[in-house]
Chain A
Amino acid sequence: MMGLEHNLMLGFAKSWGLFYLIALALGVVVYTFWPGNRKRFERARTSIMNDESGPWA
């Protein structure tokens, strides 16, 4: 029983684990460099510089 569990985990990590991590990494890179996101990021980056005036209604 113990051995089966261990081998199962190992097999899972070596196959699916690998693929889902690669897929995730690609997803993150695509999101980060997606041209359409550039403006939102730039706005988020600079808009914190002036946020003390209180909540926006």
Chain B
Amino acid sequence: MVSTMTVGERQMALGLCVLVALCGLFMAVAGRNDLMGPQGVVVLLAGILGAIVVLRRLDAPEPGPERLASYYDEPIKFGIVAAMVWAIIGMLVGDWVAWLLAFPRLTFADVPWASFGRLRPIHTTGIIFGFGGNALIATSMHVMQRTSRARLPDQLSPWFVLAGYNLFCVLAVSGYLIGVTQSKEYAEPEWYADIWLVIVWVTYFILYLRTLARRREPHIYVANWYFLAFILVVAMLHIVNNLALPVSLSSAKSYSLFSGVQDAMVQWWYGHNAVAFFLTAGFLGMLYYYLPKRAGRPIYSYRMSIIGFWGITFFYVWVGSHHLHYTALPQWVQTLGMTFSVMLLVPSWIAAANALLTLNGAWHKVRDDATLRFMMVAAVFYGLSTFEGSFLAIQPVNALSHYTDWTIAHVHAGTLGWNAMIIFGAIYYLVPQLWKRPSMYSPRLVEVHFWFAIAGTVIYVFAMWNSGITQGLMWRTYNDSGTLAYSFVDSLLAMHPYYIARAFGGLLFLIGTAVGCYNIWMTTRTAPAARIAPAGQVPDMPSAPVVAGE
């Protein structure tokens, strides 16, 4: 990792690590009577760890100029491993809180950090930002180089982006455990972490633009548009939603610049566009690159992909208010959000259809190759969850679904069925290629992972649909005298079996992920087999997939 940098870059990396460590030291000392203190220790340790890693290879021989004739893939490998580590953490905590919802007494200790309220954001942050974010950064670095036919411009900034981003995630997650939060969903980390993320993110954006500026291919392939929209819009959302005034420089607490209904609107403008640009745009970038590559067929319609892109970017920014139906928000803003949500179905289905039509004529590959099947299933769930989303955004439907597990079903149809599936597909495509192996260690285990994942998703989503609609209906059923027929506890008891089913489905999904980790680990451990292609050339398709059960 460090030995692929030039000596000058190593020295700069060391300088940056020292700077981070000093910031950590300041936070730890100045904030010693506050939650800031422990957070400072995390930063300090991260800086020291980084410095040690750099120092150990500081005077390794400098890489030769021949490096410039190949893509720079070392950081991508790191990103993939980080994504899988966060996947395990996020899903483990997710499944733990799922069991807690079914059996609250399972809480092992009566301490604040083990409570549902602190563990739940660890699940959402760990899985969305840790797992999803690392996968997005890694795949974007892969796609930007390939589609531009250009190497990353330097060897330092990709590492800064990845390491800095993971520091942000660790800071966030360790903060929740001790009670740090600014109480905005999906934006819980406090001001110092937010500022750090801005620095990292701007570096990421500039890195992307610098790579594109070096491109040898005249037209920028559409996957890059999606990745760029993801980076740019997330920067905007993050900065605006986190505008806040810290109590003092030595305090972890800050207060939002917005208040009341404006605060709510800004938060859900952020929240929904985080779904749109973090969990959708960037992932569509993955879909538009890896699906055609793996299927061995160019995307069905390039024009459709362009229309879809602009449709998604321009419709999505208006829909945040569908999270605030029947609130103090002006009625016209709610109607606006609802209308745009329904229109959003068109560009969403354009993307899903484009992916599935690309596979038309390659269905035998989908049958034989679990990696491609992951991607196919992702496109199907993308279509499904966007249809569901547009439906949920209609006010009377939302009156039934809001506050119920129907939302949770929708969320996980999107995140398990779409985001996680496309990530696994991309990773199984990438790992043999990046580690220069002819195929995954065990194609059969890819198959096993696939079936665990699909079973887990289906069980999870169906359990939550049932539970959500049951809840919604029970809460609005009146008896003859005009009062509610069921108490809240009645609905709670009705949900119990579904909660057990959900936790079981989540367990299956988690087991699948663990199988995937093992398979990836073993792939990187086995000796690189004799290359099939002439030296210096790696085949685009890692080799014909082996069919399980044959």
Q: CB-CB contacts of A12-31 with B at 8 A, as 1s and 0s?
A: 01000000010011001101
Answer whether A55 and B151 are a contact pair too, CB < 8 Å, given A32-B303, A49-B293.
yes
A56 to B336, CA, bound (A): 48
C-alpha spacing A56/B71, complex, angstroms: 10
B216 interface hit (Cβ, 8 Å): yes
A31 touches B306 (CB 8 A): yes
Asked whether any CB of chain A lies closer than 8 Å to the CB of B149, the reply is yes
Give Cα A53–Cα B217 distance, bound, in whole angstroms: 14
Which residue among B220, B303, B536 has the maximum number of chain A CB atoms within 10 Å of its CB? B303
A44 in contact (CB, < 8 A) = yes
The answer to whether residues A57 and B69 also contact, given A31-B306, A44-B217 and a CB cut-off of 8 A, is yes
B299 at the interface (CB under 8 A from A): yes
Give the Cβ gap from A39 to chain B, nearest Cβ, in Å: 10
A42: nearest residue on chain B (CB-CB)? B302
B293 and A33 within 8 A (CB): no
Question: Which chain B residues border A24 with CB–CB below 8 Å?
Answer: 310, 314
A49 in contact with B539 (CB, 8 Å): no
Q: Is B219 an interface residue (CB 8 A)?
A: yes
The answer to whether B537 touches A52 (Cβ under 8 A) is: yes
Most chain B CB within a 10 A radius of its CB, from A43, A47, A54, A56: A54
Closest residue of chain B to A14 (Cβ to Cβ) is: B332
Please state if A55 and B70 are interface contacts (CB–CB under 8 Å). yes
A52–B538 touching, CB < 8 Å: yes
Give the residues from 282 to 330 in chain B that come closer than 8 angstroms, CB to CB, to chain A: 289, 292-293, 296, 298-299, 302-303, 306-307, 310, 314, 330
Q: Are A55 and B149 in contact (CB under 8 A)?
A: yes
Interface of A is mostly: helix
When distances are taken between beta carbons in the complex, the residues of chain B under 8 Å from A21 are: 314
A28 with B69, Cβ < 8 A, contacts A43-B219, A55-B151 known: no
Minimum CB–CB distance from A33 to chain B (whole Å) comes to: 7
Chain A's nearest CB lies how many Å from the CB of B226? Answer: 14
Does B298 contact A54, Cβ atoms closer than 8 Å? no
**Chain B positions within 8 Å of A54 at CB level:** 69-71, 536
Is A4 part of the contact surface with B, judged by Cβ < 8 Å? Answer: no
CB B129 to nearest CB in A, in angstroms, measures: 28
Number of A-B contacts (CB under 8 A): 79
Please determine whether A52 and B296 come into contact, CB atoms closer than 8 angstroms.
no
The yes or no answer to B150 lying at the interface (CB within 8 A) is: yes
- Which chain A residue lies CB-closest to B149? A56
In the assembled complex, how far is the CB of residue A15 from the closest CB belonging to chain B, in whole angstroms? 14
Structural contact, B302 and A51, CB atoms closer than 8 A:
no
Give the Cβ gap from A35 to chain B, nearest Cβ, in Å.
12
Q: Given A24-B314, A44-B221, A44-B222, A51 and B303 touching (CB < 8 A)?
A: no
Q: Which residues of A contact B219 (CB under 8 A)?
A: 40-41, 43-44
Given contacts A43-B219, A45-B302, contact A52 B433 (CB under 8 A): yes
A55–B307 contact, CB under 8 A? Answer: no
Residue of B292, B306, B433, B538 with most chain A CB atoms under a 10 A cut-off:
B306
If the complex has contacts A6-B330, A55-B69, A56-B216, are A33 and B536 also in contact, measured as CB distance less than 8 A?
Answer: no
Q: Which of B387-403 contact A (CB under 8 A)?
A: none
For the complex, is B532 an interface residue (Cβ under 8 Å from A)?
Answer: no
Q: Which of A31, A40, A49, A50 has the most chain B CB within a 10 Å cutoff? A: A49
Considering the complex, give the chain B residue whose CB is closest to the CB of A57: B69
Neighbouring A residues of B70 by C-beta, 8 Å: 54-55
Per the bound structure, the CA–CA distance linking A23 and B216 in Å amounts to: 32
Q: How far is the CB of B57 from chain A (nearest CB, A)?
A: 25
> Quick one: given A24-B314, A48-B292, are A53 and B537 in contact (CB under 8 Å)?
yes
Q: Are B145 and A55 touching (Cβ within 8 A)? A: yes
Contact present for A55 and B299 (CB under 8 Å): no
Which A residues touch B145, using CB under 8 A? 55
If A10-B332, A54-B71 touch, whether A48 touches B293 (CB-CB below 8 Å) is yes
CB distance from A53 to the nearest CB of B (A): 6
- Shortest B509–chain A CB gap in Å is 31
A1–B147 CA distance with the chains assembled, in angstroms: 52
Is B218 an interface position by the 8 A CB rule?
yes
Q: Shortest beta-carbon distance, B243 to chain A, in Å? A: 18
Q: In the bound complex, what is the Cα–Cα distance between A23 and B219 (angstroms)?
A: 24
A34 nearest CB across to chain B (Å): 10
Most B Cβ at <10 Å: residue of A41, A42, A46, A57: A41
**Does B303 contact A41, Cβ atoms closer than 8 Å?**
yes
Is there contact, CB below 8 Å, between B306 and A55?
no
A31 to B225, CA, bound (A): 15
Q: How far is the CA of A47 from the CA of B293 in the complex (A)?
A: 11
Please give, as numbers and ranges, the residues of chain A lying within 8 Å of B310 by CB-CB distance.
Answer: 24-25, 28
- A contacts, CB < 8 Å to B: 6, 10, 13, 21, 24-25, 28-29, 31-33, 40-57
18 pairs, A vs B, C-beta closer than 8 Å: A6-B330, A25-B314, A40-B218, A42-B302, A43-B219, A44-B219, A48-B221, A49-B292, A49-B296, A49-B298, A49-B540, A50-B540, A52-B539, A52-B540, A53-B537, A55-B70, A55-B71, A55-B150
Known: A41-B302, A49-B298. 4 other contacts (CB 8 A): A44-B220, A44-B221, A48-B298, A54-B70
> A-B pairs with the 6 shortest C-beta distances?
A56-B216, A44-B219, A51-B146, A41-B302, A28-B310, A45-B302
